[in-house]
Structure 1
Amino acid sequence: MKAAIVLDAGRVPVFGDFKAPVPSADEKLVSVSAAAISQVVKSRASGKHYSSGNQFPFIVGIDGVGRLDDGRRVYFVLPNAPYGSMAELAAVRSAQCVELPEELDDVTAAAIANPGMSSWAAYQERAKLRSGETVLINGATGTSGRLAVQIARYLGASKVIATGRNADSLKDLEGLGADVTIPLVQDKSALEDAFKEQFASGVDIVIDYLWGESAQSLLIAAAKAGKDAVPIRYVQVGSISGAEISLPSAVLRSSAITLMGSGIGSIALDRIINATAELLRATVPGNFKIASKTVPLSDVENAWPLDDSNRRTVFEIVGGA
């Protein structure tokens, strides 16, 4: 079968032939129609993600959309290595397949599942978002962050605060449900003051896609300005701005901040799949907006380095529909 194959760590996937998977007794064979690039897919392909393996060659991709033998359209996740989603066929455990709503098209489902799940699971499984709460999204101008703004509103947040570096993208977020936007281009003192103003007014949940310096400033500002003993649930989702921060211990001792992560390992796989299913069912009723572009899988080598955070690259697999 044809597939996008990683031959060695750090190399761009190439289009080529790979032995077709043979499903075991508890697996279903999916004829794949669409699969998207995401940050975790790129990180795993480079060998840098914490969940990466070291088995080469392998088919890239952790999730996708396709049809089962009985004709049902499904979203699926995590075929067993060395197999991935960017191939004509994927063998996947039945429990890791989710039937798609009829009104949701394949490309949108493939595009939205991973970035949308990142905040849906963070809100529902980790932060336990309640209607009427205030949410701050650190790094809201990328695909995942834009969806996090929309999903927060859909799940009942009364106020949404968004941060980011791109001024035009921040402005766009106002149309997606952000009440306050904070540019991350200010000097450190001015940025901390902007954060303290928001925390003084009350912030219940922080969803952090960046980590790095902005996260450090957020946590310090929350400790300085947060209301006494009022809990702040800080959920760490991504680390685009850096993998490490320097955090004074007094920040956690002097505040009611609960610091946690959200992702593979911090949430059981069945709960992640359930969160994704809920997201996919809500996508059309919630009118969630996501920008995407479609590319033939055969062009993976050229399209891979051009992928960015503004539009999801969705590979269409011929014959999978």
Structure 2
Amino acid sequence: MCIIHILSRTERKTVMKAAIVQGAGQAPIYGDFAEPVPSSGENRITVTAAAISHVVKSRASGNHYSSSGQFPFVVGIDGVGRLDDGRRVYFVLPKAPHGSMAERTVVSSRQCLALPDELDDVTAAAIANPGMSSWAAYKERAKLKAGESVLVNGATGTAGRLAVQIAKHLGAKKVIATARNAEALKSLAALGADVTIPLVEDGAALEDAFKEQFADGVDVVIDYLWGQSAERLLIAGAKAGADAVPIRFVQIGSASGSDITLPSAALRSSAIELMGSGLGSVPRDRFVRCISELLQATIPGGFEIAATSVPLSEVEQAWPKDDSTRRTVFTVGVHNS
């Protein structure tokens, strides 16, 4: 009996609270998970904040291309916390099966970034992933130059709203914003959008609106939707022909569908450069550098993001309520706000 009692006490010391995915298609549950043990070159982090994102949801469901397919695991790909020496850091891509939505996690020391003192934990956790999506697309893929024009397709979600703000911060001369929600589009002028285009059902009218902008010159398209609006954008850009500037079209998300039908002539008859931006398209160290640049620019750039903080213990209730209009940030223990 004494031996059993000792083992039980030891076992209790090696578990922590976490949001755990037990199997494909299952939502996370709040429960006990084995404590992570850092190896050489890794940091143990006491987590304070971690946010839900489209990537996090997709990986949790097992549908994302970067999913390991191994269960159970702790959900979450990034967050904010403190190292054992007390330093406050943002971290990304913990070592599986550990994730960011737990009391503690383990991450390569190269994937931990010091945070500006003025940037609070919840904002840092909320903005890193959606902001990085456009920052990396602009800097690493499109090579955006000051004075160029940008079109953000799908600009009313958290990532799209940041894409508008970041384009202006990086020196875009003109920012065109599109979205399916015409009412939400109206708020984007205050964030830097010079032109807004509702994605209306009338295909001919929508193509005409796109062609008018391409005729004036669009250098970079950042696409969060794919699907039919992306088809029309690409075709309108191709029809603008040789009189228009070359277009760098960067595909990031697929909120409107995973497939499109694109005539081959649209690429042969134009100077469109079609590329993607995501995990795998940019080396990991450069993605981390993009996040660092974004976090350093958040306060000076005045970037705005809507976020709701929720205790991690309420993950089962909050998970299904998350949507694209606000970031749900789970908090663990004491955090600064």
- TM-score, normalisation: structure 2: 0.94
| Residue 318 of structure 1, CA deviation | 1.5
Q: CA deviation at 1:168?
A: 2.1
* Deviation of 1:165 (Å): 1.2
Equivalent residue of 1:45, what SS? helix
State the partner residue of 1:220: 235
What are structure 1's unaligned runs of at least 5 residues? Answer: none
Instruction: State the alpha-carbon separation in 2 of the partners of residues 287 and 225 from structure 1.
Output: 35
Matched residue, 1:148: 163
SS in 1 for 2:30: strand
How far, CA to CA, are the matches of 2:78 and 2:219 in structure 1? 32
Partner of 1:302: 317
Q: Report what 2:34 is aligned to.
A: 19
- 2:181 corresponds to: 166
Structural mapping, 1:183-198, within 5 Å: 183-198=198-213
- Partner in structure 2 of residue 232 of structure 1: 247
Aligned to 1:82: 97
Residue 81 of structure 1 deviates from its aligned partner by 1.1
CA distance in 2, matches of 1:319, 1:106: 10
Counterpart amino acid of residue 246 in structure 1? T
Identity of aligned pairs, percent? 72
Q: 2:81 touches 2:88 (CA, 8 Å); kept in 1?
A: yes
Q: Aligned pair 1:7/2:26, yes or no?
A: no
Residue-by-residue CA offset, 1:257-296 (whole Å, 9 max, x unaligned) = 0000001000000000000000000000000000000001
Q: Secondary structure at the match of 2:286?
A: helix
Task: Supply the AA of the counterpart residue of 1:116.
Answer: G
1:103 and 1:319 map into 2 onto residues whose CA distance is 17
Alignment partner of 1:127 is 2:137: no
- Deviations, residues 115-155 of structure 1 (Å, cap 9, x unaligned): 00000000000000000000000000000000000000000
- 1:57 corresponds to which residue? 72
Matched, 1:66 2:60: no
Q: Secondary structure at the match of 2:289?
A: helix
Number of aligned residues: 321
Structure 1 residue aligned with 2:284: 269
Corresponding position: 1:313 with 2:328: yes
The residue type paired with residue 234 of structure 2 is L
Task: Give the deviation of 1:12 after TM superposition.
Answer: 0.8
CA shift at 1:72, angstroms?
0.9
**2:295 and 2:195 mapped to 1: Cα distance?**
27
Q: Is the 1:199–1:226 Cα contact (8 Å) retained in structure 2?
A: no
Counterparts of 1:171 and 1:243, CA distance in 2: 27
CA RMSD of aligned residues (A): 1.0
2:178 is paired with a residue whose SS is strand
Deviation for aligned residue 1:185: 2.1
CA drift at 1:320: 6.8
Uncovered stretches (5+) of structure 2, i.e. residues with no partner:
1-15
CA contact (8 A) 1:200 1:227 kept: no
Choose which of 115, 126, 133 in structure 2 pairs with 1:100: 115
Deviation of 1:47 (Å): 0.7
Q: Select which of 293, 297, 303 maps to 1:278.
A: 293
Larger radius of gyration: 2
State the secondary structure of the residue aligned to 1:293. strand
After TM superposition, the score normalised by the length of structure 1 is 0.98
Distance between the aligned counterparts of 2:335 and 2:222, measured in 1? 36
Rounded Cα–Cα distance in structure 1 between residues aligned with 2:166 and 2:82: 27
Look up the equivalent residue of 1:81 and give its one-letter code: A
Question: What CA distance in whole angstroms lies between the structure 2 residues aligned with 1:78 and 1:105?
Answer: 20
Question: Structure 2 CA distance, aligned partners of 1:111 and 1:287?
Answer: 15
How many angstroms does 1:167 deviate by? 1.8
Cα gap change, 1:226/1:70 in structure 2, threshold over 3 Å: closer, same or farther?
farther
